[in-house]
Chains A and B, each alone.
Chain A
């Protein structure tokens, strides 16, 4: 059995950033375990630009953004293993992994950072009635075929779901000469970033059909078309609005799910809204010494925020290994439903903390209030809040230290709701 101070599971943007941060916080005995053939995770297939605007004040492509971190990993000589699948972790931080060179091996570690990312919700999970022809894929799978393998699965495309990967792929398929007939979104608003709706759909004249879904898949061996329909306010299809669209490819961009298969059985508490672990301001889970960051914790829309979050986790994991604990408190953070969730979900130390949150719907001219009992300790006005766009509110050390009621509540005061 190997012994390593810090094992990071996943060598994507979260894992790399966490490793660099832990290294610069004084831990050098680190090992990144990456299941893919290279570092960078999903960024490798995201060849479009728009990455790094916050972090580097530059517009980078996915591989360029990843390379900024890979360079540092190489420079700092942080060890990593590629094509290495972690098959198990235990509460007392024993890791089992497998690769071709070493076979099945175990590592005992002092701290673990979970950075496994997320996966796409599959076609099966949607349970759309009809046949099961070839031609129905999750958008990320096709992104891999097109951008990494260099092949197209079809030429006449309908996209279900307006998640960012779906929007990006609408443009990508169009640039490859495919005809994207429509993007259907069951909600009355896009689930992708506003900038992607503009740059990937509007700029190419691709219709975004809000409050629409696919109600039937047609074609025995190859996909020949889909029937779409409008949905009512309960998201139930209105059958007399049915419309047939011929297509040979249906791409699904209907949600991302944090991939916690490894971490689900080690006693970590999970947040049923995010699908990721409940963490404190240090991104430490409810099992001490196990941290989480990036899309395995909650799905992000911008990689820049993933890097920020991973830096926190890396720094904190280094602190944990070097036994630098702050004063222990326990202040859970509640939300009111209009705010769907926050990350972190609790405080265990009084540190200045950026709270990340998402709203459940579209809200205009709203005020975000952080309440301690009856007292509002922090407020932030927002002109527009969209479920697709992650928001932040910053709490100072003093605010957290002076909490009286034992818990904080994050609420939305809405002037106008559409």
Chain B
């Protein structure tokens, strides 16, 4: 059986689920950010697969991927800046120790 749209979509779903597990189950804020990047990459694979197999000449999916990559880069820059700021004031990056606003 030759590789088709479903194969790419299931690969994307697998990567998304792995990232989902990591984002829910990890303590370290940097690891959570890495897992979110993994999920974004999974969505990009699905988008590229749809662009290749459903509308091969329109390239709309690839344009969307470019914008997703821009937003992901922005998210990583600001997210890491926030994490470093928290680390500077509280000496930790573990999410269950950052509980100043928790009663």
A, B bound: no
Residues of A within 8 A of B (CB): none
